[in-house]
Amino acid sequence: MPPLDASMPPFDDRTNGRTNDRTNNDRNPDTVHKAIIFEDVVIGFEDIQVLDGVSFELRRGETKVILGVAGSGKSTILKLCLGLLKPDSGRIYVLGHDVTTMTEEELFDLRSKVGIVFQESALFDSLNVRDNVAFRLMEEHLPEAEVEKRVRESLSFVELEAAIDKLPSELSGGMRRRVGIARAIITHPEVLLYDSPTGGLDPITSTTIIELIMKQRDVFKTSALMVTHRLQDGFTLASHYFDPASKHMKSSDGMPSQDIRTSFMILREGKAVFEGSAHELGQVQDPYIKEYIS
Amino acid sequence: MELNSPFDFAKRSVLAVQEYAYLSVRSLANLFRKPLYMADTIQQADLIGVGSLPIVVLTGMFTGIVLALNTSKTLEQFGSLSLTGRLVSFSMVRELGPVLTSLMVAGRNASGMASELGSMKVTEQIDAMRALGTDPYKKLVTPRVISTVFMMFFLTIISDLVGLVGGWIISFSMLGLDSTQYWNAAYQALHYNDVITGLAKPLVFGFIIATVGCYFGMTTKGGTQGVGRSTTQAVVVASVIILAVDAVLTQLFITLS
């Protein structure tokens, strides 16, 4: 096999950078520019094939919106990224680590660099908001003053400082989702995973959550995968930017200098049937995708 | 209702045994790995030990009373009523104390563990814990196992003592036996290996209660209905295993002595 040209990254882009003559074991993935790399990932539960050869890459600083109908494997992708599930075959690189070969102990360290917001928030119902947000810091035995400072910082980011002493059962669905975001960002992770962050919320609360995700993307440049079945959430992210001056999102229309860095991927029956920008999604001729986005 | 093939049933059973063995081994192996979660262990010891105290005291007391009442009828026929204390103490310390205490604690705590961990499982709190870099086996399972084993030892001692007191109340108030006679007979009935047997069993039973409760909790599927199913299964399986292991341990201790 010819040696790789050191001046060229192993992957040029998604479509033409992958070569068939290289195996998984004899080349290194581009983890400098890519936060997450999925290579031909297959996973099934009992007789159902959930992901059937899914490959994609998430560039550093990019937000990728994963769309698909219920049961298409969207949430499974996020759990695979964290090593909560192991694929039947294929490779998954997260921040340069091959999570498919790592033990649970090794994954605990990696997970400190990856935050996740679960579909139903998954807050610890016996702990109050403060302890939920501070959970990881308390596990690391950080000084109390440092924990308090960072909890307030995180809750202030999601504008929920007033709820610090409340139990999850005392919060509304939107507030729980915001606490989930605060818990995910408290360690300043390099990658954030959002599992249907606006699912089951009213439109106004959904916009608040999307604005927070946008704020995280534009202020902290965090790489993110956002799973959703709400197309409008993806398009809002792709067409707006967070303005720190007004502390609100603004439309990027007519401002080509705004670097939105948001792309889309659509899953269908365990396969990625589309990957590209919002503009490319609008131009696509595939009847299924056209019907999906209509 | 869909019928499962015997092969599928066998496969699922083997998998369940494998998962249970894995959880049990891991809960013990975590004793030698930091962090130890002492605060969680003490909290669980309070919930399991202090929380189970009323039910254990009541069970022990009534068992002692019933033992004295039942045995006295038979002993009276042979003119050996004075041996009531001997029978009560031997039965309580060697068998009924450990087994009945374990069954009571299983009913109260194996179900509690299964429902608590099961609720956490179906609401993705276990996944959230793993995602936040914490080993749920270390944080949730090991403290429950340690505290159940530890507290079962003391709960059984309390149950044995209260059972003896129950027997004494009946012997003194209804059978007209002298207190000294009762306690002397109770004391003389016990040999060193009886006490060892009576105190070793609850350690094993405590381990069974905690690991079975945690196993069913950690493998819960199917929402709130699944939590209910896990809770019931935990109590039934823990109780059956306790009785089966009791038979094995009894024979083992008889052979060893």
CATH code, A263: 3.40.50.300
Residues 6+ apart with CB under 8 A from A106: A97
What is the residue range of B216's domain?
36-256
Asked if A120 and B132 come within 8 Å (Cβ–Cβ), the reply is no
Binned at pLDDT 50, 70 and 90, residue A1 comes out as: very low
Q: How far is B134 from chain A (nearest CA, A)?
A: 7
B8 contact residues in A (CB cutoff 8 A): none
Q: What is the mean pLDDT of residues B70-85?
A: 87
pLDDT digits (tens, 9 = 90+) for B42-64: 999 999 999 999 999 999 999 99
**Residue B108 pLDDT more than 60?**
yes
**Residue A292 pLDDT more than 90?**
no
- Smallest CA-to-CA distance from A66 within A294, A292, A239, A240 is with A292
pLDDT digits (tens, 9 = 90+) for B119-129: 999 999 999 99
Asked if B131 and A120 come within 8 Å (Cβ–Cβ), the reply is no
> Does residue A165 belong to the interface with chain B, where contact is any CB pair within 8 Å?
no
CB B245 within 8 A of CB B133: no
Asked if A116 and B128 come within 8 Å (Cβ–Cβ), the reply is yes
A100 domain-assigned = yes
B145 domain-assigned = yes
Residues 6+ apart with CB under 8 A from B179: B168, B172
Asked if A122 and B130 come within 8 Å (Cβ–Cβ), the reply is no
B9 domain-assigned = no
What is the residue range of A130's domain?
74-293
B227 domain-assigned = yes
Count of other CB atoms within 10 angstroms of residue A147: 20
* pLDDT for residue A9: 35
B129 contact residues in A (CB cutoff 8 A): 124
B128 contact residues in A (CB cutoff 8 A): 116, 118, 122-124
B208 domain-assigned = yes
B122 domain-assigned = yes
Count of domains for chain A: 1
B134 contact residues in A (CB cutoff 8 A): 108, 135-136, 139
Count of domains for chain B: 1
**Residue A11 pLDDT more than 70?**
no
| SS3 annotation, B4-66 | CCHHHHHHHHHHHHHHHHHHHHHHHHHHHCCCCCHHHHHHHHHHHHHHHHHHHHHHHHHHHHH
Across A86-90, A172-176, A281-285, B226-230, least confident range: A281-285
> Does residue A170 belong to the interface with chain B, where contact is any CB pair within 8 Å?
no
Asked if B134 and A122 come within 8 Å (Cβ–Cβ), the reply is no
B2 domain-assigned = no
Q: How far is A261 from chain B (nearest CA, A)?
A: 26
> Does residue B123 belong to the interface with chain A, where contact is any CB pair within 8 Å?
yes
**Residue A4 pLDDT more than 60?**
no
Name the residue of chain A whose CA is nearest to B131's CA: A111
Asked if B131 and A123 come within 8 Å (Cβ–Cβ), the reply is no
CB B98 within 8 A of CB B156: yes
Contact map slice: A 183-222 vs B, CB within 8 A: 183
B18 domain-assigned = no
A30 domain-assigned = no
Asked if B131 and A111 come within 8 Å (Cβ–Cβ), the reply is yes
Binned at pLDDT 50, 70 and 90, residue A23 comes out as: very low
> Does residue A47 belong to the interface with chain B, where contact is any CB pair within 8 Å?
no
| CA distances in angstroms from A7 to A25, A28, A30, A35, A59, listed in the order given | 20, 14, 12, 20, 19
**C-alpha span between A158 and A211 (Å, rounded):** 10
Mutate to test the interface with A, among B132, B140, B141, B227 (most CBs of A within 10 A): B132
**C-alpha span between B218 and A34 (Å, rounded):** 35
A271 domain-assigned = yes
Mutate to test the interface with A, among B40, B124, B126, B139 (most CBs of A within 10 A): B124
**Is the ipTM beyond the 0.85 threshold?**
no
Is-above-0.80 flag for pTM?
yes
A112 contact residues in B (CB cutoff 8 A): 133
A238 domain-assigned = yes
pLDDT digits (tens, 9 = 90+) for A240-255: 888 888 888 888 875 6
B48 domain-assigned = yes
Asked if A84 and B127 come within 8 Å (Cβ–Cβ), the reply is yes
**C-alpha span between B167 and B106 (Å, rounded):** 25
The DSSP bridge partners found for residue A226 are A65, A194
- Smallest CA-to-CA distance from B100 within B149, B154, B56 is with B56
> Does residue B127 belong to the interface with chain A, where contact is any CB pair within 8 Å?
yes
A186 domain-assigned = yes
Contact map slice: B 29-88 vs A, CB within 8 A: 35
3-state class of A52 per DSSP?
strand
A209 domain-assigned = yes
- Smallest CA-to-CA distance from A88 within A53, A37, A36 is with A53
**Residue A137 pLDDT more than 60?**
yes
